[in-house]
Structure 1
Amino acid sequence: MKFRLKMAVSALALGLATTAFAADVPDGTTLAEDQSYTFWLLDAIKSIDPQINTDVEGSDILRNLFEGLYNEDGDGQLVPGVALDHSVSEDGKTYTFTLRDDAQWSNGEPVTAGDFVYAWRRLADPATASEYAWYMELMQVENAAAIIAGDMDPSELGVRAVDDHTLEVTITTPLPYFPQMLVHGSTFPVLQSVIEEHDDDWTDAGNLVGNGAYTLTEHQLGERVVMEKNDTYWDSDATVMDTLTALTINDGNQALTRYLAGELDRVDIPAGQYPRLKEEYPNQAVSTPYNCSYIYMLNVGDKGPEALKDANVRRALAYAIDRDIVVDRILQGGQRPSYNWTHWAVAGFERPELDWADDMDQAARLEKAKELMAEAGYGPDNPLALTLQYNTSDDHKKIAIAASQMLKAIGVDVTLDNYEWKVHTDRMQNQDFDMARYAWCGDYNEASTYLDLFTSYSGHNNGEFFSDAYDQVMRDSKTADDPLPLYQEAERILADQMPIIPIYHYANVDMIAEDIRGLPQNNVNNTWYGKNLYRVAE
């Protein structure tokens, strides 16, 4: 038996919202003549190839140039993208997606199920060398693990085109959140003929062919990305915003200055400035929960410092950080102190009780940290020397300076090392670091998007924390009727072994121009689409 999920009758079962697909402009609204949106990027986009990109900022670009099976609305609910609906087999392992027949590439060719098959095989193919290849394995797509390991041909991946408008996906384990995973950029389709024609240059402006609401007209690396409305997009008639421009500005204070000068329509608020800006600009300064966690990743692998192979040392480092100072004195934007990995606002998640978080105050944690360091042979007379690496940002620098002072109190001499984003991430991927600033933003709104990262098969476990017990807990969670107790056990393992130093859970702290409408305020993933935006007349 199969059951069919139709928009009109089963939105609740799928989690699909029935709201408007593109800009939902209220009756009587007077639109501005200028329909352009300019937003801020802290760092250069490393890649705008859907199967290669790993960055949040890159995902914001991809989401406008390409479109996957489903999108999210302003509340984080799924809405149709290229897929109109899907059916699921009784055993929960076969998904059949019905694709819209009016989806087109920006060159006018139709978007077909075969384009998704090509993209998904490309993602899993070791020849692509994608850091997100593991996402196919997380999605439990049939044969993904063997293909990623090089033991099976990509053609054996559990995805096939039944016909041009019917896509079938076979997974090995039922995942109730499987549809939610399909909003991630790595699952977006790409056009094989364009990649074969242009090879690595296929993402250049003028070469790139996408199926999203916008086309790429300019990309000056580290300076700007410009996207123009795509008239071949299936919902272009309901897309109001004509031009999207992303400006790369490595200095957050400079970006704020340019926002206040009217050069940007959205910018992150620098650390410590939200209270003042909320008072001065109450209709522009906003803070909402954001599905990201900020940590210092510890290199516990073969290339890491010998001292960090000792879990007691790692716990001491974590205990010594005063998160309340970071959140209340440095950031001041609605962020929350973090003693675990998974963001507090993730749907269905409850943090387990953790001794160091719940049974100790900061003074007790600091004393325990000193004891643990002394047991390991370190202290003021024999300090442990470590390097803390972070990417260019005044906020990251302020937190790193504070952390270095806190760690000095337990006998750790910290050298701060600052790199531009690409160098920073390359060094992390090569395990060329001691401690490194890291943040993870959930690929979907479910705890596994965090906890899978520290499995041995993860593509982002740059600190090389490998634990058979942890792997088993996460494998068991895939088949559990209620995975929460297993997620909590995974968090307890992380708290015991401490391969990371949790710092804080994000809030989205922004200045948004008063005449911009359509940015999500109730979506914890902060998933936004230019096609939903519009500018009103002042």
Structure 2
Amino acid sequence: MIRLGKILFISLILVIAVGPGLAQDVAPGEGGILIQANTLGDPNFLNPLLANTTTELEVNALMFPNLYDIDPATQLPAPAVENDMTTGMALGWEVSDDGLVYTFTLRDDLFWSDGTPVTSADYKFTFDALASGEVASPRTDVLDTIASVEAPDPQTLIITLSVASCRGLDEMDEFGVLPAHAVQAIIGDDFSAINEMDFNKAPTATSGPFNFAALVEGTQVSLAANPNYIRPVLPEGYILKNVPDKTIALEQLLAGEVNMIGTFDVAQENFAQLRELDAAGEVQAFESIDDGYWWLALNQADPTNPQDGVDEDGNIIVQDPHPLFGNKTVRQAMMMSLNIDEIIDGALNGEGVPALTHASQIAWAYNDNLTPYPFDPDTARTMLEEAGWVDDDGDPSTPLVATEDNEFAEAGTPFSFTVQAQTGDVAVDAATTIMQRQFAEVGIEMNIELLEFGALVGELLGQEFDAIFLNWTNLPTDTDARSQFNPEFDIVGSGFNFVSYQNDDITRLYEEARLVEGCAPEDRIPLYHEAQAILQDDLPYLFIYAPKTMFVVRGNVEGFDPFPEWQKWNISRWTVLGG
């Protein structure tokens, strides 16, 4: 029996016992309730086709299947390995000689929470919804690669690519799998209804190590152990509990009100304390380097008139440049105005490294030959003056103003902009405050507006911002970034090229890397390295830092055996002693 009421409300009263105890055999569903702190706010979409925030991805990974599993040790696709965060449908697959047709054999022991089998029809339905053009999904980049999907029988799936893409297998698994029967019962034949259906906040059929129980907005998401999962699920349930900030997340961990904190919710200033607690056995702390980075996104286009990057025929739409950031020299001067080491010390307590370009620094295609911009305020001032920004009143407390020769800004326009960032994050507060001071020293006024995470993402996708301080994580190991920087992904309201960046060389390099004959990494690396160098020079974002990370569980959580990218890969085997 699923004790739903207990799972819904236990986080309000639970104080988890800590102390010595011996591991015992635990029956499925009797291993205690896992409660994870969450500072990023409510999920908007409990639907993998629409999900685009960390919170959404965190929860959906535990409730919806994927096409195949990822081996947590190698980070590569693998048939039927154990990974509770992927729950793969595929037992194996074959590829045609020309590399265009993938035939998957699917397992027959996956079931939705209402008892309906998970089949090839579910994958085909999800893809058809994405391909319809009626769903506001951020995953439309896969349509450049996948030509068609066939489901000839429940356990066979045939996927045909339009080109023999080196990213084909990756892209087949980027949009999750929806329960066709449950969603069709809601939308009929109208795929556009997926965007607003009640399922997005309360899915009626799920299939992962946990099933959906409830979303209490502003409080928590509750999941219950799936008694019909492909492996026994020992925990009784999983709760993602909202907390105001990272300080309170740590307080609640130490008080036993939560029993884990994810990498996004552990402040670097607390690393030293947590290392001591780990040594004492009170917590288990797993350290790594983030597979992404933090950036200051600079809108390349006029924020008063956001437009898509291409028209209906795929032609580039030339947009009016942002009056402050349209000039590359200005962006480079801004980068040279920032003392990144000081920002890392102040925001991360020194627990981070400078970000140099758009890529994970632990990726196999990362360009190790890049060097950071120097911190050189004097040169930055000279570059700004050359770009038409001058001190017109001799007062260092006021911003520079545009001259008649300024390329994009009207004469007299002050160099003043607003950066939007997430509220309740001490590292964000420190980083933005330090950047504000450093910019002011060269005559740039940066105002700070703090927003709840969901509102911040809305501003980002709406493209009416000047600048946003945020981060990417879980970046691909081949460093492909078409969805962030190619014009076809500049889609107002949903696209990830929210800075409206356009660069023909970047578009070409990512396409060539995707289509390298034979897909040998050594043949793709030079193309990705060149793209990373261009991005570092062109600066659609100011690249700030990559934090060191820590995933922490209490000492009484047994079974915790993390990998850098997959801390919860075996969460079905975790138990809470005394929980």
Answer yes or no: same fold by TM over 0.5. Answer: yes
Q: Check conservation: 2:333, 2:379, Cα contact below 8 A.
A: yes
Q: Check conservation: 1:54, 1:132, Cα contact below 8 A.
A: no
**Equivalent residue, structure 2, for 1:256:** 250
**Equivalent residue, structure 2, for 1:141:** 146
RMSD of Structure 2 on Structure 1 (CA)? 2.4
The answer to whether 1:173 aligns with 2:157 is: no
Deviations 1:240-262 (A, max 9, x none): 12200000113111111111110
**Equivalent residue, structure 2, for 1:6:** none
Q: Check conservation: 1:452, 1:474, Cα contact below 8 A.
A: no
Equivalent of residue 422 in structure 1, options 454, 462, 486: 454
Of the structure 1 ranges 387-396 and 437-446, higher mean CA displacement relative to structure 2 is found in 437-446
**Equivalent residue, structure 2, for 1:189:** 178
| TM norm structure 2 | 0.78
Equivalent of residue 234 in structure 1, options 230, 233, 254: 230
Query: How far does residue 125 in structure 1 lie from its aligned partner after superposition?
Result: 2.2
The separation in 1 between residues aligned to 2:417 and 2:93, in whole angstroms, is 51
Query: How far does residue 522 in structure 1 lie from its aligned partner after superposition?
Result: 2.4
**Equivalent residue, structure 1, for 2:541:** 500
The answer to whether 1:164 aligns with 2:154 is: yes
- Structure-2 change in CA distance of 1:422 and 1:410 (3 Å): same
**Equivalent residue, structure 1, for 2:61:** 63
The separation in 2 between residues aligned to 1:264 and 1:54, in whole angstroms, is 25
**Equivalent residue, structure 2, for 1:395:** 427
Of the structure 1 ranges 60-69 and 167-176, higher mean CA displacement relative to structure 2 is found in 167-176
> Paired residues, what number?
483
The separation in 2 between residues aligned to 1:57 and 1:520, in whole angstroms, is 22
Which of the two has higher C-alpha Rg?
A: 2
**Equivalent residue, structure 2, for 1:328:** 345
- Structure-2 change in CA distance of 1:261 and 1:379 (3 Å): farther
The separation in 1 between residues aligned to 2:573 and 2:168, in whole angstroms, is 24
Q: Check conservation: 1:451, 1:490, Cα contact below 8 A.
A: no
The answer to whether 1:82 aligns with 2:114 is: no
What pairs up with 1:89-108 in 2 under 5 angstroms? 89-108=96-115
- Structure-2 change in CA distance of 1:443 and 1:118 (3 Å): farther
Equivalent of residue 207 in structure 2, options 203, 211, 214: 211
Q: Check conservation: 2:292, 2:475, Cα contact below 8 A.
A: no
**Equivalent residue, structure 2, for 1:461:** 497
Equivalent of residue 388 in structure 2, options 377, 380, 390: 377
**Equivalent residue, structure 1, for 2:553:** 512
Deviations 1:130-152 (A, max 9, x none): 12222443xx111xxxxxxxxxx
**Equivalent residue, structure 1, for 2:138:** 131
The separation in 2 between residues aligned to 1:527 and 1:493, in whole angstroms, is 36
**Equivalent residue, structure 2, for 1:298:** 298
What pairs up with 1:434-453 in 2 under 5 angstroms? 434-442=466-474, 444-448=476-480, 450=481, 452-453=483-484
Q: Which runs of 5 or more residues in structure 1 are unaligned?
A: 1-27, 143-157
The answer to whether 1:349 aligns with 2:349 is: no
Q: Check conservation: 2:167, 2:514, Cα contact below 8 A.
A: no
Equivalent of residue 514 in structure 2, options 460, 478, 486: 478
- Structure-2 change in CA distance of 1:520 and 1:94 (3 Å): farther
Query: How far does residue 179 in structure 1 lie from its aligned partner after superposition?
Result: 3.5
Q: Which runs of 5 or more residues in structure 2 are unaligned?
A: 1-21, 81-87, 188-192, 304-320, 401-414, 490-494
The separation in 2 between residues aligned to 1:280 and 1:212, in whole angstroms, is 32
The separation in 1 between residues aligned to 2:474 and 2:266, in whole angstroms, is 21
| TM norm structure 1 | 0.84
SS of the residue 1:306 aligns to: coil
Deviations 1:136-191 (A, max 9, x none): 43xx111xxxxxxxxxxxxxxx111021110011112334454444554x232332
**Equivalent residue, structure 2, for 1:286:** 286
Q: Check conservation: 1:352, 1:492, Cα contact below 8 A.
A: no
Query: How far does residue 498 in structure 1 lie from its aligned partner after superposition?
Result: 0.8
Instruction: Give identity over the alignment, percent.
Output: 21
Q: Check conservation: 2:331, 2:539, Cα contact below 8 A.
A: yes
Query: How far does residue 84 in structure 1 lie from its aligned partner after superposition?
Result: 0.7
The separation in 2 between residues aligned to 1:518 and 1:446, in whole angstroms, is 31
The separation in 2 between residues aligned to 1:527 and 1:349, in whole angstroms, is 26
